[in-house]
Structure 1
Amino acid sequence: MPFWIAVVLTGVAAGVGAALLTALLMKVQDLSWGASDPAALTEAARRAAPGRHVLLLLAAGLLTGAGGWLLARFVPGGETDITEAIWFRAGRLPTIKTLGSAALSTVIVAMGAALGREGAPKHAGAAFGNLASGLQKLSDEQRRLLVAIGAGAGMAAVYSVPLGGALFALEVVRGQLALRLLLPALTATTIATKVAMFVIPDAPIYTVPVYHVGLADFAFAALAAPIIGLWSVAFVRLIAWADRSRPSGWRRILAPFLVFAAVGLVSIPLPQVLGNGQDVAQELFRQPLPLFALLVLVPVRPLCTVASVASGAPGGLFTPSLSAGALMGAALGVLWLHIDPQGDLSLYAIICAGAMLAATTQGPISSLVMMMELTGHARFFTLPMLVAIIIATAIARTIEPRSIYEARLSDQQVAERFRVRGARPTPARPRRAI
């Protein structure tokens, strides 16, 4: 009974946290750019004066540096990384520091930082799971599970994906997809999603057309998937490098200022680099971008995310991974049109977005389900996306044992994680310990 009380408490708290953080994001984005809808950031940035881009990102950089320094200097507790906490600290997270980092992440993403907005509610849900575990005096194993469930509940609430959030919690965060764990995970994610409905609409995030899938689209999925797999490995390794490069001391204040200033300048001709990438993906799922902008954004948009992580800024990586896959899929689709002139670039973008998400998170099942929930479609793109997900994830996992959420772990920690799970990791490129 104490465990189930903790599950319910975690679901309620994760839902409230996601709703409050979303309300904060919408308010700050409205004050910053004149548009509260996260999907309207790019259009609002297009209308904004160039000076506004630079000033807002400079302010976000200053806030990141000062906020990070204050949290490190005056708030007790260790690291706030969820994966590290689950595997090496029995799920224990510093509650105040984690919630403070979540609030800071929300504000800077609303101001234009190229990071995911789901990172904040995910961390808040995990912190509430840890807190509920302590209140109910649960065992370390139960605490690990509840922290993962809390992270999934935060994800579920902010994107209205209760089934995908439950699978994400178990497959990606906990690393143990078992039927006996699914019921508590679904309980928490369902509660969180319903609680958050007073702020977050229970509706698909992305609006997509009805895709008409033919044999040529399966061929595209099979041929594009290896490239997406390699692209995801590069992205994960860049994020790992960026995390190891996070500044300390006085550089903690200077680095975000410089990086965000650069992002602000880049965003003047390319407003699509701002925010978490939701609006970029939405545009690609419905119509193609101009070819020049597409080719430039394929490397530049992910690099802005990598630079933001390297500056020490807190934020999520879910939607940035999805948008990076959508951009690469659309670019590969332009080449594929020479073979199949009747092809649909928006279909190619969504297939590769799902494949990139699965390969970077190494969660093929949760990624497919979340793509269905995020779009409200369960059949129109499922089969070719599944082909791409299988191939891309297999290639990525063969080359790089880390997911994007394990990028900060050292080689020794990764080896220990696989030992505990009873698996043998694929050797990766040597790295120094974080």
Structure 2
Amino acid sequence: MPSTWIKPKRLALIEACIIGVISGLAAVFLKQGTGWLGSFRLQASEGWGAWLILPLVGGLGGWLAGWLVQQFAQETSGTGVPQVKAALNGIPIALDGRVALVKLASTTVTLAAGFPLGRQGPTVQVGAALAAWLSRWIPTSPDYRRQLIAAGAAAGLAAGFNAPIAGVLFVVEELLQDLSSLTLGPAILASFVGAVVSRLLGGDGIDLNLEMTAQPSTSFSAVEIPFYLFLGLLAGVLGSFFQRGVLGGLTFTNKVLHWSLPQAMAIAGFACGAIVSMLPPLFWNNTGLREMIVTGEASVSTAAIAFFTHFLLTILVASSGAPGGLFAPSLVVGAALGYMVGVFQMEWLGVASPITYALAGMGTFFCAVSKTPIAAVTIVFEITTDFNVVLPLMIGSVVAYLVAERMTTESLYDRILELKGYRRRSRRLATNNLLTQLRARDVMQRRVETLPSDMTLDRVAEIFSRSRHRGLPVVENGQLVGILTQSDLAERYTAPHLKVSDIMTPHPLTVTPTDTLQEVLYLLTRYRVSRLPVTEGRRLVGIITRSDIIRAESEYVSQEVSLEGKLEPSYKVYQTRAPATGRGRILVPLANPETASGLLHMAAAIAREREYELECLHVIRIPSHNSPMETAVDIEPGKQLVNQATAIGEKWEISVHTQIRIANRVSHAILETIKERHIDILLIGWKGNTVTPGRLFGNAVDILLQQAPCDVVLVSGLFANKGSFKTLATGEQNNFTTPLLFNRWLVPVRGGVNSKAALELLPALLTFSNHPYIRLCQIFDPAAGSGWNPEDRQRPLAAQEASAYLKALKTFQNKSATSTVAAASVPGTSVADAVIKIANNNAYDVVLLGASREGMLQQAIKGNIPAAIASGCRCTTIVVRKCD
């Protein structure tokens, strides 16, 4: 078959047909198996006595079915419809071939043992499970897999009732609430095929006498409308009681009795069999009783007994968690109720046959229980093909729905989900599913490290040693031509003269900026890759990793971030402006009064050395549901902080601008300020540890590191030296009083632009030293060879590092005649452990280092080096991230 023939839409049609066929076969198997095993039960009852056989078979069958469910698939207990609904709403409930097989086997045993349940609910779960199992064999997106599961559920219900339209409507009305064309197409086709297969192979719906109901034995006239309104009222009230009875029984069994599933089902089966054995023989066969009622052959007393026994026994066996549906019992109870109302109408008016009322009662009671009026009307119409019942059905169903909605606001399936603890999560996922609302463009990294295709592999190895990524896209003229990973380099690196194009993976898997995070995560998982390039056509516009998705979801759940577009801008409530005399700006967010003075002095020193202005920001955070523009706040504490900045600016003779903002998210307000005020450096305090797994520095700081379009300086442990305010000589005429005293500096040099930026920051920070001692060190693994020898000019740091080192060295020696600069290599298998040991053993005041360049996976394995150093060192830590 040519590959061009298998288009996505054609593949969807093929999949829908396959789903319909296997769902139809499963429904036929369930019907034939139940009928074959059930016939033995009836024959044994006639020969050995119903009082012995019915309770015995009910108890043994219940225990066996319960054992199957408990041992092999606990997800198959009950009707199965709530489980499918939960799966379609994103709750991780298993749907696979195992679930389908166990559901078929356990339901067959349960129904054959005489439980007054139906097989249509289980066929919904069986069809959905088979569709989910099929989707695992065919590459598809999570969204489309969800739609295949919906198609399987529709096909299962259609095959059970021989009602393809009702199958689709029930799935749309109750399970999905989704009318997209991609959902309806496969669902309609799968339902049609499932119903055809079931009918051709003998799966006759709910066994109504279609020939008889097609005769003119049903009728409707206007004078009967009050009786159908009365029927709808009764069905609504009794349907609500039925729902409460099932829920109350499940709660009592689970929370009071604490029986295992086999025990509960065995006792329920025994009790059901004992009660039925005391009734006339026609009640031993649920199918025959149903036919008798809807064809008008039953008496009023028979209908009344059928109503009460099925009402109570269904509650009894459903409370045990038995696998079996509530569709058929609802229809039988409704048919009996409608038949009694019809007989009453005959005696009162003598207008119509009770058959019409029996058929209308089926739909009205089913509607009251499931809260699906459209599906209820359609099911009864499809299994009868009688237009005379449509208007009575609609009248009764609408009234029943309104009454039931007034008494219980949710359908029975929603309440069962609530009992299982899924309510809150399913609602959140159905309305605010982050993975389906956010797109790749919302979380992707726009600044992408790339490789040219003609670069030699020795140069690539050097780049990988400094990169935090384990794989880099290969680009020619701005277009993506391949991807190269560290694994590719390690496995296929045979000669230094080889080029990237010789070993890269051409035509890599990509996503577009509009793909949802759910689709991206599915591709990452299915193809076992850690990153995906984001392209528009062939142009590379970004890259997205699993860590980006995890971070976005964690931020969403923790209320740290909101979906872009739904987050209101921060609101500026106070500001001061000074003359714009600087060549740049440094921003200092102020929150903690204990660290504000130290941060401001450090920022002032950097601003004066670089001729920058100082921008000070205080953010008042409010709950996410409040509007920043409409929320009243107290700004006096914030004014005290920013006024402190103005006073320090006057001493240092630099321009200071201040502002106070109200915001739902602190990081968002900082990013807004950076963009509005054209900030060059962001200096922020950092508490020195992380609280969320998968974070580098914490929620807000990680966002700023990733998104801030400027250099970022993180300062941790400002008062680790606990000194009083000191007066420092700076080499000029002025002396400054500052809470900072940093004489001993440890500067680990690890390579990359961040280490270079840290070195370049030293001249300004030496303001806080009277007699500075600076030790530059490089950690090396003894197993890998000798370390860096600063006296060996043939083997210095990388070229850009060496330049920065020499420049810094000259600056230090000119700064003070008493300054000392030393450089040494230190053995150690762990950079963080080695730095912590040096800093603590030698009483350093500050550790100054560049931000880690490792990828997220290496961070997870080796640990976040700056965070580990800040947590382990008994001194101040300064971490610098250079803006790319």
* Both structures adopt the same fold (TM-score exceeding 0.5): yes
- Give 1:72's aligned residue: 70
Which of the residues 306, 328, 333 maps onto 2:337?
328
**1:362 correspondence with 2:371:** yes
Between the aligned partners of 1:161 and 1:67, the Cα distance in structure 2 is 28
- Give 2:318's aligned residue: 309
Alignment of 1:32-47 (within 5 A): 32-34=41-43
Deviations 1:283-313 (A, max 9, x none): 2222253333333332221111111112231
Deviations 1:12-55 (A, max 9, x none): 22122122222212221233225xxxxxxxxx97xx35723642
- Note if contact 1:3-1:142 (Cα within 8 Å) is conserved in structure 2: no
**Higher gyration radius (CA):** 2
- Give 1:118's aligned residue: 120
**1:408 correspondence with 2:416:** yes
Between the aligned partners of 1:77 and 1:321, the Cα distance in structure 2 is 23
Between the aligned partners of 2:201 and 2:367, the Cα distance in structure 1 is 28
Between the aligned partners of 2:76 and 2:346, the Cα distance in structure 1 is 51
Between the aligned partners of 1:123 and 1:262, the Cα distance in structure 2 is 27
Between the aligned partners of 2:364 and 2:245, the Cα distance in structure 1 is 18
**1:281 correspondence with 2:283:** no
Q: Which amino acid aligns with 2:395?
A: V
Between the aligned partners of 1:190 and 1:314, the Cα distance in structure 2 is 26
Q: Which amino acid aligns with 2:61?
A: L
Alignment of 1:118-157 (within 5 A): 118-157=120-159
- Note if contact 2:342-2:354 (Cα within 8 Å) is conserved in structure 1: yes
Deviations 1:115-172 (A, max 9, x none): 0022332221111111122222433332333222212211212322122222222222
Alignment of 1:293-304 (within 5 A): 293-304=302-313
Range 121-130 or range 291-300, more displaced = 291-300
- Give 2:573's aligned residue: none
- Give 2:186's aligned residue: 184
Summarize the Cα distance change of 1:94–1:183 in structure 2 as closer, same or farther, 3 Å threshold.
Answer: closer
- Give 1:222's aligned residue: 229
Summarize the Cα distance change of 1:149–1:215 in structure 2 as closer, same or farther, 3 Å threshold.
Answer: same
Could you say what secondary structure the match of 1:256 adopts? helix
Q: Which amino acid aligns with 2:408?
A: E
- Note if contact 1:204-1:375 (Cα within 8 Å) is conserved in structure 2: no
Deviations 1:89-118 (A, max 9, x none): 266425313421322112221231110022
Q: Which amino acid aligns with 1:349?
A: A
- Give 2:17's aligned residue: 8
Between the aligned partners of 1:49 and 1:407, the Cα distance in structure 2 is 43
- Note if contact 2:158-2:166 (Cα within 8 Å) is conserved in structure 1: yes
- Give 1:374's aligned residue: 383
Which of the residues 156, 160, 167 maps onto 2:169?
167
Shift of 1:61: 2.4
Deviations 1:194-246 (A, max 9, x none): 33345225788422242121112222112221121111111122222233344
- Note if contact 2:63-2:263 (Cα within 8 Å) is conserved in structure 1: yes
Shift of 1:274: 4.7
- Give 1:59's aligned residue: 57
Q: Which amino acid aligns with 2:250?
A: D
- Note if contact 2:165-2:188 (Cα within 8 Å) is conserved in structure 1: yes
Shift of 1:192: 1.6
Between the aligned partners of 1:250 and 1:381, the Cα distance in structure 2 is 44
Q: Higher helix share goes to which structure?
A: 1
**1:235 correspondence with 2:249:** no
Range 177-186 or range 197-206, more displaced = 197-206
Q: Which amino acid aligns with 2:69?
A: L
Q: Which amino acid aligns with 2:312?
A: L
Deviations 1:346-369 (A, max 9, x none): 221111111112222222222212
- Note if contact 1:297-1:327 (Cα within 8 Å) is conserved in structure 2: yes
Summarize the Cα distance change of 1:138–1:345 in structure 2 as closer, same or farther, 3 Å threshold.
Answer: same
**1:383 correspondence with 2:391:** yes
- Give 1:428's aligned residue: none
Aligned-residue Cα RMSD (Å) equals 3.0
- Structure 2 residue runs without a partner (length 5+): 1-7, 433-884
Between the aligned partners of 2:378 and 2:74, the Cα distance in structure 1 is 38
- Give 1:430's aligned residue: none
Shift of 1:374: 0.8
- Note if contact 2:155-2:167 (Cα within 8 Å) is conserved in structure 1: yes
- Note if contact 2:58-2:273 (Cα within 8 Å) is conserved in structure 1: no
Between the aligned partners of 1:123 and 1:373, the Cα distance in structure 2 is 21
- Give 2:219's aligned residue: 212
- Give 1:318's aligned residue: 327
Between the aligned partners of 2:169 and 2:242, the Cα distance in structure 1 is 23
Shift of 1:74: 4.8
Q: Which amino acid aligns with 1:286?
A: T
Could you say what secondary structure the match of 1:102 adopts? helix
Between the aligned partners of 2:416 and 2:112, the Cα distance in structure 1 is 25
- Structure 1 residue runs without a partner (length 5+): 35-43, 424-434
Between the aligned partners of 1:77 and 1:288, the Cα distance in structure 2 is 40
**Count of aligned pairs between the two proteins:** 410
Q: Which amino acid aligns with 1:341?
A: G
Shift of 1:394: 2.1
Summarize the Cα distance change of 1:6–1:31 in structure 2 as closer, same or farther, 3 Å threshold.
Answer: same
Could you say what secondary structure the match of 1:410 adopts? helix
Between the aligned partners of 2:310 and 2:296, the Cα distance in structure 1 is 18
Between the aligned partners of 2:346 and 2:199, the Cα distance in structure 1 is 41
Between the aligned partners of 2:164 and 2:143, the Cα distance in structure 1 is 23
Could you say what secondary structure the match of 2:241 adopts? helix
Q: Higher strand share goes to which structure?
A: 2
- Note if contact 1:172-1:363 (Cα within 8 Å) is conserved in structure 2: yes
Between the aligned partners of 2:390 and 2:74, the Cα distance in structure 1 is 46
- Note if contact 2:247-2:319 (Cα within 8 Å) is conserved in structure 1: no
Could you say what secondary structure the match of 1:112 adopts? coil
- Give 1:398's aligned residue: 406
Shift of 1:4: 4.1
- Note if contact 1:347-1:381 (Cα within 8 Å) is conserved in structure 2: yes
- Note if contact 1:11-1:189 (Cα within 8 Å) is conserved in structure 2: yes
- Note if contact 2:163-2:382 (Cα within 8 Å) is conserved in structure 1: yes
Between the aligned partners of 2:427 and 2:233, the Cα distance in structure 1 is 25
**1:100 correspondence with 2:102:** yes
- Note if contact 2:96-2:130 (Cα within 8 Å) is conserved in structure 1: no
Identity %: 24
- Note if contact 2:86-2:426 (Cα within 8 Å) is conserved in structure 1: no
- Give 1:431's aligned residue: none
Q: Which amino acid aligns with 1:358?
A: C
- Note if contact 2:22-2:130 (Cα within 8 Å) is conserved in structure 1: yes
Summarize the Cα distance change of 1:176–1:227 in structure 2 as closer, same or farther, 3 Å threshold.
Answer: farther
Which of the residues 258, 265, 268 maps onto 1:259?
268
Summarize the Cα distance change of 1:101–1:136 in structure 2 as closer, same or farther, 3 Å threshold.
Answer: same
- Note if contact 1:239-1:309 (Cα within 8 Å) is conserved in structure 2: yes
Between the aligned partners of 2:310 and 2:362, the Cα distance in structure 1 is 14
- Note if contact 2:293-2:303 (Cα within 8 Å) is conserved in structure 1: no
Between the aligned partners of 2:143 and 2:377, the Cα distance in structure 1 is 28
Q: Which amino acid aligns with 1:185?
A: A
- Note if contact 2:96-2:133 (Cα within 8 Å) is conserved in structure 1: no
Summarize the Cα distance change of 1:280–1:76 in structure 2 as closer, same or farther, 3 Å threshold.
Answer: closer
- Note if contact 2:161-2:379 (Cα within 8 Å) is conserved in structure 1: no
Between the aligned partners of 2:315 and 2:204, the Cα distance in structure 1 is 31
Deviations 1:379-408 (A, max 9, x none): 111112111111111221233233233331
- Note if contact 2:127-2:155 (Cα within 8 Å) is conserved in structure 1: yes
Between the aligned partners of 2:142 and 2:250, the Cα distance in structure 1 is 27
